[in-house]
Homo-oligomer: A and B are copies of this chain.
């Protein structure tokens, strides 16, 4: 259905403008004028009950009066009239609607928006919008928007949640020389959303890179699924990553901007390359739309200036592509194309004496060499070289190398002549930038894309046990009890049902039972109060550790009970948990949230000050495979601690990864039940010795 509607919207044989106007300046005029004058070759039907003819076209009072088939309709009538307009489009058999009109959920009118979507669906139509600028397509010669012109032609397609930004970017394509085939304004995403459009664009022969301006998603998981399946590069700029910015985004489009860290994780898991800002979105789009991914870490830089070489070297490190020296035979060959005082290491410095031939020969050789995974070519405008000729030499060298599928980026630092040479390079498929940092960043985008696609395409093998039946029994019992949190014992039962290694923990309701359980478990034991009303057990004097014999068990039982009553006389005491005392290990924390956008999401971090002071944690949307989990262990700042520092042996990262994987299975399986949870601390032992969840907490979703 998506494809049919979007085919209708993007390749209509006939299009209606519902609300066409004869008054210049009105949106209904601009859209019609744009359709007529900017290359659309299908039939255009202006719809307006009070006009006979607009801009030379016969006007119809209602779309129902149009004689022929209509594939798409642009709606520009006032919001309150839109339902009727949608209904008439439905009756007419229109496939898709471009609802430009604003005044819906973005100003609180959610019901009106729901109404038009329901109406559209009743007739098998899909809605783009409302509250949008429209859609533009170079390859279809169609400007079905009130943006003044089609963008500079190119191979990327923009999908923008901000209409104002789309118009501005449209204009900027010309001054920046970054071309787009299509632009979609998606506004309130009442119906067609990012996922639908990405799915359609992945099959669009005129789009080689999908560029997103994102404020928030309605359904993060369908977005992730579509991106993961996509075979084209996708790049996103997520706005609203600051606390203050997120608030602004919410008021702007009425969609909830999720936490920056969760968005970051989700985009990465989905294989979406991220842009840091608007300039970066243009730069990375250019590279991703023109060049293949970079499938290895060996970046070679060729330059005619030491200064820009050093700057590029700094940038390479900054963007995760630290330079390595090229192998001796590469250096030996490159040495032939430079004076004695040049450098054949990396950056390869051909020196300011480098002319067309040296550039040509060095680039041709380096690009073809197996060691080189990606090539960045820098040029500083000099008084004795011609930038256009250098550009042509570079392009010829790449073409003559006989090699394909390896990325190249270029930076010329200079004036007008360099600008023209770079525009020529871009026209010929080589992304070129006015500063070395940007060329290296572009290469980093191509590397990130390759890395993420490899990860996103991994299949996820679930870990742990399928403990739903047991878990639901525990949860239902708590709900019957009127509670929306589980006790530690209950939470451990749920964890255990999914194969998480919890400390053995049993509930004693009497002193004698406590003694019996302690003997079963084996000394030393830990004893803790179990009460739904006492969450901070230590504060209540409800925890005793390292209990070594029967007498101490009895004493602890009495003390804990007395302390609990002192602390909260009204508390319901389930009893006292008697637990295996786990030997000390490296303290980590696992946790989950049910993110409003992405659903069940895992958090991992080191315990203690790492989480409390440094916020050194990392997220993944569930499910998390063991190999993904291993990456989580490696990406926190405290990662060396798990690898073993100060003479300590490495920790059992494999077991930790399995535990994260099983945990993620649990929160996904119980997505409708668990709101938040944590396992804190989890103790990680030396390699082969496993992990142990010492304390557990589950907060249920309110039902």
Contacts and interface: CB of A to CB of B under 8 A. Distances in A.
B307 A162 contact: yes
Interface stretch (A288-296, A379-387, A396-404, A682-690): A379-387
Interface stretch (A52-60, A434-442, A594-602): A434-442
Contact of A245 (B167, B305, B314, B609): B314
Given A167-B381, A244-B323, 13 more contacts: A171-B416, A242-B322, A243-B317, A243-B322, A244-B316, A245-B313, A248-B343, A251-B306, A251-B343, A252-B349, A279-B434, A613-B637, A614-B614
Interface size class of A (residues with CB under 8 A): 35 or more
A612 interface: yes
Contacts of A172: 381, 413-415, 418, 434
Contacts of A609: 638, 641, 645-646
A213 interface: yes
Contact of A307 (B252, B315, B434): B252
Given A305-B165, A612-B645, A314 B383 contact: no
A240 interface: yes
A405 interface: no
B419 A167 contact: no
A417 interface: yes
Nearest to A213: B307
A175 interface: yes
Nearest to A414: B171
B310 A146 contact: no
Interface string A241-258: 111110011011100000
Given A25-B384, A172-B415, A162 B306 contact: yes
A164 B352 contact: yes
Nearest to A242: B317
A658 interface: no
Contacts of A165: 305, 307-308, 380, 413
A199 B309 CA distance: 29
A248 B306 contact: yes
A239 interface: yes
A234 to B, nearest CB: 19
B239 A305 contact: no
A174 interface: yes
A51 interface: no
Contacts of A168: 305, 308, 380-382, 413-414, 418
Given A174-B415, A244-B323, A164 B308 contact: yes
A381 B176 CA distance: 15
Contacts of A645: 609, 612-613
